[in-house]
Amino acid sequence: MSDVAGQETFRGQVAGQNLHVVWHEKPGADLLRSLWASLPGGAICSAFQAPRFVECFFQEMAPAACDTFGVLAAYRTGLQDPLALLPLIRFRKGPVRIASTPDLGVADQNGPVLSEALASEGDETVQAVMSAMIEAIPDADVVDIKKLHVSIGSADNPFFVHPNASPESSSLFLETDALLAAGAKSGISIYKKARVNFRKLQSEDVQLVEATTPEERVKILEALIVSKEERFKALGRANSMKQDNRENFYRALAAQAGLENPLKVLALRSGHDAIAVVAMLVEDGYATLILISIGAEQWHRFSPGMVALVQSIYWARDNNIRVYGFGTGHQGYKSRFGATEQPTRRLLLPLTVKGHAAITALKAKRSFQETVDRWKHRKTAQTA
């Protein structure tokens, strides 16, 4: 990857704004950090668009899985600092070239990166900049960005309200009041059970530790990777951590030094053995659970995974986190913490004639599948 100057892909006026957009293809770490640092007033983004996350993604996952990757930077004509950034990858599904954000299964929230200065100018200006950036996406037929949440950090997510964004699913969150109340005289039984089991673990000389150095993060993460491998093998399932070089992506992220690293790792440890590990990504007052694992079977009677998860919630509460997210998926255990459900959306936008045809075919396939699912549901209800 290089730090050479980018290629301008758009210049013109959008909704009264004189803008130009520059495409930085395969940028190196220095350029990435410089772009984020140059946003007037600072960057507004989720942890999944933080520079260290994007850097590790571009280093470990994008080269093998994508045709190309880079960052779009939008500027107001005559100014040197960008208003907004959009990290992108491009890959193919058959003949269709798809542009998306760095995800491939490791991002739970997606969207652009806004400057504080742009966010303060109002929705109309933000949407004009987003339109210019979408128009500037190079060599793609379709924009497909999943897991769009209503906000990114402290700002509204402009892609969530895009006319082409449609309902997708939902995620579970502990918002400020629920997070502050977590475990404090809580009537929710899961917190009570976790407190009891934590005391039992402590009586077995198990300690809760937070990895505060790259070396500690990498060591605990390796234990998590081993536990995941054993768990998938026991279930007879393919190990998702092996897909698209995910393991090395997490290793690279764990090894990043400095306070800018969004990865936070907690472990319940007996001596040198990790019996449960929780990893979160933290940015701008938001914490998102991304990985959890449990170790040797001898500890399972204490539900160490649930204990570690509750401790991560307490960590978020005690570190002035405003919102704690449970990541993607609606696993049953997530509903037991008093979480609030929030919708997610998907931006599916054609950029070419080929893209229009691809999206039309996809929507037809989706509609057919929904019809089949409804029919199966009725048949099941009739025979119940």
In the predicted structure, residue 63 carries a pLDDT above the cut 60: yes
C-alpha–C-alpha distance, residues 275 and 71, integer Å: 39
Nearest alpha-carbon partner for 295 in 273, 316, 311:
273
More confident residue, 363 or 196: 196
Out of 5-9, 39-43, 333-337, 372-376, the most confident range is: 39-43
In the predicted structure, residue 294 carries a pLDDT above the cut 80: yes
More confident residue, 361 or 118: 118
- State the average pLDDT over residues 113-132: 95
Per-residue pLDDT, 374: 72
Please give the mean pLDDT across all residues of the chain: 91
- State the average pLDDT over residues 45-70: 97
- State the average pLDDT over residues 313-325: 94
In the predicted structure, residue 81 carries a pLDDT above the cut 60: yes
Mean pLDDT lowest among 63-67, 277-281, 367-371: 367-371
Burial environment of residue 233 by CB neighbours within 10 A (0 to 12, 13 to 18, 19 or more): exposed
The Cβ of residue 106 has, within 10 Å, a number of other Cβ atoms equal to: 22
Per-residue pLDDT, 382: 64
In the predicted structure, residue 175 carries a pLDDT above the cut 70: yes
In the predicted structure, residue 180 carries a pLDDT above the cut 90: no
In the predicted structure, residue 136 carries a pLDDT above the cut 80: yes
In the predicted structure, residue 379 carries a pLDDT above the cut 80: no
In 3-state terms the chain splits into helix, strand, coil percentages (rounded to 5) of 40, 30, 30
Per-residue pLDDT, 186: 57
- State the average pLDDT over residues 227-233: 89
In the predicted structure, residue 4 carries a pLDDT above the cut 60: no
Provide the 3-class DSSP secondary structure of residue 12.
strand
First-last CA distance in the chain: 59
Per-residue pLDDT, 6: 83
Q: Tell me the whole-structure pTM to 2 decimals.
A: 0.91
103: amino acid identity, one letter: D
Per-residue pLDDT, 17: 84
Sign of the Cα pseudo-torsion (295, 299, 301, 303, in order): negative
Per-residue pLDDT, 52: 96
Element (H, E) at 349: strand 340-350
In the predicted structure, residue 279 carries a pLDDT above the cut 70: yes
Tell me what percent of the residues of the chain surpass a pLDDT of 90: 74
Per-residue pLDDT, 248: 97
In the predicted structure, residue 1 carries a pLDDT above the cut 70: no
Q: What band does 371 get if pLDDT is binned at 50, 70 and 90? A: confident
In the predicted structure, residue 105 carries a pLDDT above the cut 60: yes
Q: What band does 373 get if pLDDT is binned at 50, 70 and 90? A: low
276: amino acid identity, one letter: A
Per-residue pLDDT, 383: 65
Nearest alpha-carbon partner for 116 in 42, 47, 46, 49:
42
- State the average pLDDT over residues 47-65: 97
